[in-house]
Amino acid sequence: MSHNAQIKIPATYMRGGTSKGTFFILSDLPEAAQQPGPARDQLLMRVIGSPDPYGKQIDGMGGATSSTSKAVILSRSEKPDHDVDYLFGQVAIDRPFIDWSGNCGNLTAAVGSLAISRGLVDKARIPEEGVVAVRIWQRNINKTLIVHVPVSAGKVQETGSFELDGVTFPAAEMQVDFLDPADDREALFPTGNLTDSLEIPGIGELTATMINAGIPTIFLSAGDLGCNGTELQEAINSEPAKLQKFETIRAHGALKMGLIDTLAEAAQRQHTPKIAFVAPAKAYIASSGKPISADQIDLLVRALSMGALHHAMMGTAAVAIGAAAVIPGTLVNMAAGGGELQELEFGHPSGTMKVGAAVAKSDGEWRVIRVSMSRSARVLMEGSVYVPSDAL
The DSSP output letter for 162 is B
Contacts of 189 (CB under 8 A, 6+ apart): 209, 210, 211, 212, 366
Query: Could you list the active site residues?
Result: 104, 314
What's the rounded Cα separation, in Å, for the pair 301 and 325?
11
Cis peptide leading into 273, omega within 30 of 0? yes
Nearest to 382 by CA among 171, 160, 164, 158: 158
Per-domain residue ranges for the chain? 6-173+377-391, 196-371
Contact yes or no for 268/250 (Cβ under 8 A): no
Predicted confidence at residue 80, as pLDDT, reads 97
**CATH for 6-173+377-391 (3.10.310.10, 3.30.930.10, 3.30.300.30, 3.50.50.60):** 3.10.310.10
Sign of CA dihedral 16, 19, 23, 26: negative
Does 1 have pLDDT greater than 70? Answer: no
Give me the chain's average pLDDT, please: 96
What's the distance, CA 101 to chain centroid? 11
Strand partners, 6: 388
d(CA 257, CA 190): 6
Architecture of domain 196-371: Roll (3.10)
**Residue 346's pLDDT is what?**
98
Instruction: Write out pLDDT tens, residues 10-53.
Output: 999 999 999 999 999 999 999 999 999 999 999 999 999 999 99
pLDDT tens-place string over residues 99-153 = 999 999 999 999 999 999 999 999 999 999 999 999 999 999 999 999 999 999 9
How many percent of the chain have pLDDT more than 90?
A: 93
Answer whether 269's CB lies under 8 Å from 217's CB: no
Contact (Cβ atoms closer than 8 angstroms) between residue 109 and residue 147? yes
What pTM did the predictor assign? Answer: 0.91
**Alpha carbons 88 and 101: distance in angstroms, whole number:** 9
Mean pLDDT, rounded, for 291-300:
98
Strand partners, 130: 151
- DSSP-derived secondary structure letter, 258: T
Pairing of strands 196-200, 174-179: unpaired
| pLDDT per residue as tens digits for the range 230-275 | 999 999 999 999 999 999 999 999 999 999 999 999 988 888 999 9
Taking the C-alpha atoms of residue 265 and residue 77, their distance in angstroms, rounded to an integer, is: 32
3-state secondary structure of 34: coil
Rg, Å, the chain Cα set:
20
Question: Residue 144: CB partners within 8 Å, gap ≥ 6?
Answer: 82, 135, 136, 137, 138, 179, 180
Secondary structure class of 378 (helix, strand, coil):
strand
Other Cβ atoms less than 10 A from the Cβ of 280: the count is 17
pLDDT at residue 49, as a whole number: 98
